[in-house]
Amino acid sequence: MGSEAVLERLRGLLPSIRARREEIERARRLPRDLVDELCRTEVFRLSQPRGIGGREAAPVEILQTIEAIAAADGSAGWCAMVGIANNVNAGYGTERAAREVFADPTLPTAGIAEPAGAAVRVDGGVRVTGRWKFASGVTHSDWVWAGCIVMEDGRPRMTPHGPEIIHLWMPVAEVQVHDTWFVSGLCGTGSLDFTASDLFVPGHRVFELFDPAAHRPEPLYQLPPLGWFVSQASAVSLGIGRAALDELIALAPTKVPTLSMVVLAERPAAQLGVARAEATLASARAFLHESVEDMFRTLSAGSQPTLRQRAVNRIAAANAAEAGAAAAHAAGVLAGGAAIYASGSLQRHVRDAEALTHHFSVAPHVWEDAGRVLLGLQPAAPVF
């Protein structure tokens, strides 16, 4: 089943996701039956290599799929994005690990890139201890991956580029999950903490996240891992912004603002606001898609993206995250008091889009590093 068939199945599921927005938020995670429905669409196969049963879809098709789910519900969109984005790791490690972790390629996985753990090399693998935050979807995943600093004699093992960092797969059943997710936005993502204590991980489940030489050669697995992840994350923001704007447009023909003689749709402020929000959202989406397609074309031609291409992609992704939040905020303000009721969706869209702008991958320093590159300097961040 190709990506078009996946999208067609998703379209049939989206009304059910929209109808369950409040339930998802109250549960603070996706209901198991809804996860099962998402799995049946085969959306989580989109990013996996064809060689192990995946669909290896084109990047923009993946972005469009994530955006569509996020427009139905921000938390569902974020969880779907995380599952798709994590499953690209099937192309980063050994085929043995890929076939073990993705024995059922329809399932999502969870994971955290931050090297918040410590790994000690032992015969046959590593022993891992650590605590990782923000493991979105860990409540409905069988496998989780995590970053670790390799320790030697009680100290980080140093390389010419700094401490040695590895990433590895662990069964969720072998880690401890902690119920820490009490937040203001993206409340239904189940982004809990998890810990491991002296857990043995066999060597075939260790992979190099940031070394393209260790990844599969297909273009999808040669995209810069951080830039590709944040591109997908920003598609969630675009979907949330789209949903908020659509709800405002549906409300405007009948809502009569306080002390007004005309409906909201007749007010110039609303007309200008909707037009500007539409332009902001659409231009950010086009910029994001073009930046990803540009890198993918370069890779498909057998070359690696330049540092400038990567910087432009990071700008496009940060801009898209901000544009989705701006569109949601504008829709909420224009809707007036109706937007703040907990029974409505607009306030949720505003909170979800705002929460996404707090992600480290779209933080203000990203603009600084991208600007450094455009001015001929090296980025300050160790991974860009």
| pLDDT tens digits for range 156-198 | 999 988 999 999 999 999 999 999 999 999 999 999 999 999 9
Examine residue 380 and state whether it is found in any structural domain, yes or no: no
Examine the domain organization and report whether 242 and 362 are in the same domain.
Answer: yes
Domain final position from 50, 78, 101: 101
Residue whose entry in the numeric block shows the structure tokens 């995250």: 321
Count of domains in the chain? 3
Q: How far is CA 160 from each of CA 141, 157, 164, 182, 235, rounded to the nearest angstrom?
A: 36, 10, 9, 40, 35
The pLDDT of residue 161 is: 85
Examine the domain organization and report whether 144 and 245 are in the same domain.
Answer: no
Q: Is the pLDDT of residue 260 over 70?
A: yes
Examine the domain organization and report whether 58 and 177 are in the same domain.
Answer: no
Q: Is the pLDDT of residue 1 over 70?
A: no
Average pLDDT estimate for 279-297: 98
Phi, psi (deg, nearest 5) at residue 348:
-70, -40
Strands 110-122 and 176-178: unpaired
Cβ–Cβ under 8 Å, residues 251 and 336: no
Examine residue 355 and state whether it is found in any structural domain, yes or no: yes
Cβ–Cβ under 8 Å, residues 288 and 235: yes
Examine the domain organization and report whether 160 and 278 are in the same domain.
Answer: no
Examine the domain organization and report whether 115 and 255 are in the same domain.
Answer: no
The model's confidence at residue 5, banded by pLDDT at 50, 70 and 90, is confident
**Positive or negative torsion for Cα 191, 197, 200, 202:** positive
Tell me the β-bridge partners of 129: 118
Residue whose entry in the numeric block shows the structure tokens 């007004």: 260
Q: Please, what's the b/e burial string for 233-252 (b: 16 or more CB within 10 A of its CB; e: otherwise)?
A: bbbbbbbbbbbbbebbbebb
Examine the domain organization and report whether 294 and 356 are in the same domain.
Answer: yes
Domain final position from 45, 66, 101: 101
Cβ–Cβ under 8 Å, residues 135 and 194: yes
The pLDDT of residue 4 is: 83
Examine the domain organization and report whether 236 and 362 are in the same domain.
Answer: yes
| pLDDT tens digits for range 22-31 | 999 999 999 9
Cβ–Cβ under 8 Å, residues 43 and 35: no
- Domain span at residue 120? 110-211
Check which CATH number belongs to the domain holding 161 and give it. Answer: 2.40.110.10
Domain final position from 181, 211, 241: 211
Examine residue 307 and state whether it is found in any structural domain, yes or no: yes
